[in-house]
Amino acid sequence: MSAEPDAPDLTRDSALSDLRERGYAGFFVGCAVLTLATTLSIAAMLLLRSAEFFSEYDAGSFLTGTTFRASNEVFGILPLALATLFVTITAAIVALPIGTLTAIYLSEYASGRVRAILKPLLEILAGVPTIVYGIFALVYVTPVLQLLFPGLPTFNLLSASLMIGIMTIPMVSSISEDAMSAVPDDLRQAGYGLGATKFEVSTGVVVPASVSGIASSYILAVSRAIGETMIIAVAAGTQANMPTVREAGGVIPYVHPGEVLLEPGMTITSAMVHTRGGELTGGSIAYDALFALGLTLFVGTLVLNVASDVVAERYREEY
């Protein structure tokens, strides 16, 4: 490098530099406004095409239809919604307890060195591309599950759900751990002062004090599981299956989880991926149906994200 440091150009002499100043400020504002434009155009595209769809297709039969078959132009969202529901619940059963326990361990028990090793490793779980998880589920997890459930088809929702659960663990653990680390040490010391054990302090003091953060992490993880696409698209096949609706005591309708999870199925997201083939230039009803599905998904995840923010803000304990 040169011996003398470059003196920065600090001239502000002319109209040119004033123009330059305004030009750059304008560019930065433009970039920032671009993010707003992204949101607006997502909303506009989804609403526009969905309106088109519902002008051709009855909204009632979209929401309550029990068959989804794009090739026959039948778009009932119910089987997709049920599959999404069961996948999300299964993933939550895996991710929420494991993620919470991980957060408790990292925030209360782990030494600094262990934490420094575990946290980046957990981040890797969220960084692996989802199609890779899908292939893992299809090629390696399903054969193991077939030992447990003989007759499990190659494409099934169960192995996909388990993989989504593993993928969302770091989402729960990192946000929950932030919330737990924010609990002031005074509270813990007070607990110890009353004679509580470490276990009692962790579960009886720290967890209740950070419950808003934990809840918000749960909602975000659920939102992520709903929006997850490729794991299911790869590992759960291309048929939308409607399970038999039974009635408990003749009144309350219910669905046996096994009829959904142990079968092939499509969620809202994977239906979008599998419907797209040949329908992308526009003009067909299947093209518009994609956007109706997208709108459902967008609204659902947006509500959950806003709910997560509200929970984190409103129920946060101020120390």
Partner 1 sequence: MATEHEQEFGAVSRVRGKVFEAVSFGSSVLGIVALAVLLVFVVVDAFGLAAADTGWILTYVAALVVPMLALWCYRLDDQWLVRRAGAALLVGAPAAFLLETALAAVGVSIPTLNWELLYLFAVVVPVTGTVLVTGRDGPVGGAANGLFGRILGGAVFAAGLVVVFEILDPQLWFLVYSLAVLPAVGCVAYARQNPTSILGRLRIPVGVLGLFAAVAIHRVFLITVPYWVFHVWALAVPVAVATAWLDDEPETDAGWMTTAGVTLLVLVVGSLAIGTQGIAASYGLLLLIGLVPAGRYAFDTAGTSPERIGLLAPLVLGIGIVIGTIVANALGIAGPDPWLDSGFLTNPPSGTASEAGFYPAIVGSVLVIAVVAVLSFAFGVGTAIFLEEYTADEGLVGSLTRLIQINIANLAAVPSVVYGLLGLALFANMLGFGLGTVVTAGLTLSLLILPITIISAQEALRAVPDDLRRGSDAMGATRWQTTRNVVVPEALPGIFTGTILALGRAIGETAPLLLIGAVTARTAAPSGVFDQVSAMPLQLFNWYGQPEPFPRGVVPAGVVTLLLVLLVMNGTAILLRNRYERSDG
In the range 126-145, which residues lie near partner 1 by CB under 8 A? 127-132, 134-136, 138-141, 143
Cα atoms found within 13 Å of the Cα of residue 22, Cβ hemisphere only: 5
Tell me the residue type at 228: E
Euclidean distance between CA atoms 263 and 245, whole angstroms: 15
Residue 281 binding partner 1, by CB under 8 A: yes
Euclidean distance between CA atoms 156 and 144, whole angstroms: 13
Q: How many CB atoms lie within 10 A of CB 200?
A: 13
In the region spanning residues 100 to 129, those forming contacts with partner 1, defined by CB under 8 A, are: 101-102, 104-106, 109-110, 118, 121-122, 124-125, 127-129
Q: How many CB atoms lie within 10 A of CB 151?
A: 6
Residue 224 binding partner 1, by CB under 8 A: yes
Q: 92, 164, 169, 261: which one contacts partner 1 (CB under 8 A)?
A: 169
- DSSP assignment letter at 7: P
**Token pair of 86, please?**
């069961």
Q: What binding mask, one character per residue, do residues 238-267 give for partner 1 by CB under 8 A, x or -?
A: ------------------------------
Residue 303 binding partner 1, by CB under 8 A: no
Q: Provide, rounded to whole angstroms, the least separation between the CB of residue 115 and partner 1.
A: 10
Q: Provide, rounded to whole angstroms, the least separation between the CB of residue 229 and partner 1.
A: 4
**Which residue's CB is nearer to partner 1, number 99 or number 243?**
99
Q: 280, 310, 313, 315: which one contacts partner 1 (CB under 8 A)?
A: 280
Residue 38 binding partner 1, by CB under 8 A: yes
Q: Taking a C-beta distance cutoff of 8 angstroms, is the pair 288, 40 a contact?
A: no
**Which residue's CB is nearer to partner 1, number 120 or number 258?**
120
Residue 291 binding partner 1, by CB under 8 A: yes
Residue 166 binding partner 1, by CB under 8 A: yes
Cα atoms found within 13 Å of the Cα of residue 313, Cβ hemisphere only: 6
Euclidean distance between CA atoms 94 and 173, whole angstroms: 12
